Amino acid sequence: MQSTFSNPVIYHADWISNEPVNSLLGNTLSIKFTGNLFCQVCNKQSKKLFGEAFCFSCFNTSAQAAPCILRPELCQAHLGIGRDLEWEDKNHNQPHVVYLAATDKVKVGVTRNTQIPTRWIDQGASSVIVFAETTNRYEAGIIEVALKEFYTDKTNYKTMLQNNIDESIDLIEEKWTTVDNLPSDLSQFISENDAVTTFSYPVQHYPLSIQVLSLEKQNSFSGILRGIKGQYLIFDNDIVFNVRRHAGFEVEIDF
């Protein structure tokens, strides 16, 4: 799903071209997996997908599946080294930001500056502040590693989907308290921008417990859409569906 920053966030998908996905709230949505899987790089049909929806070949050779996607500190694009130098120069040798995002706790993350605020919305963050600004992915990764001493780099999807927000978190205070504990050589990257971006999501009802729908285990499903947060569809009966997790799955959707 694509998103537009608004209050609340507006979601779009190619399977509902004329209206935002928000317009389906309260309606019954049916999802059926055809059994076909397609690689998100080469678009070839595959019996099994690896990583973020790659066939085995692309998982091992594509720059989009390189280790530095998950671990930015491993990026070597700034050295002219990589699986696809043209792609990495376009995507990794570009300005990045290190950010602090809040839900029930503070997490640290890295994203290319052109992915702001999309990346934050995809993670279902309630609020975000830019911590540092760098010239490439590697520099951002080094800062993220240093910040992992203080913060997690994982989003707890359950607490995010249940909207368990710690209202006492002060991201500006977190930012500048942490700056004082960083190695001095990283201080040049600290952002002076203290704007805190807050998000609200189109949710009628947050689940009390979490039941994850997996199309690998259940190839068809029908339920009333109650909300959208991050890259999740929230249905009645506390069922949630991770849209991004099912990238590469060929599905039929009715509403």
The ranges assigned to domains in the chain are 2-254
Spatial CA neighbour of 222 closest among 233, 230, 232, 206? 233
**CB–CB of 141/75 below 8 Å?**
yes
Task: Report pLDDT for 171.
Answer: 98
Task: Report pLDDT for 181.
Answer: 87
Sheet holding 220-229, edge to edge: 211-212, 239-242, 232-235, 220-229, 28-37, 249-254
What is the mean predicted confidence (pLDDT) over 149-170?
94
Task: Report pLDDT for 16.
Answer: 87
pLDDT score of 17 more than 90: no
| Cα dist from 57 to 92, 210, 244, whole Å | 22, 34, 21
Task: Report pLDDT for 240.
Answer: 98
pTM above 0.95, yes or no: no
Task: Report pLDDT for 197.
Answer: 98
Spatial CA neighbour of 22 closest among 200, 227, 198, 224? 227
CA contacts within 13 A on the Cβ side of 201: 26
C-alpha dihedral sign at 56, 242, 3, 191: negative
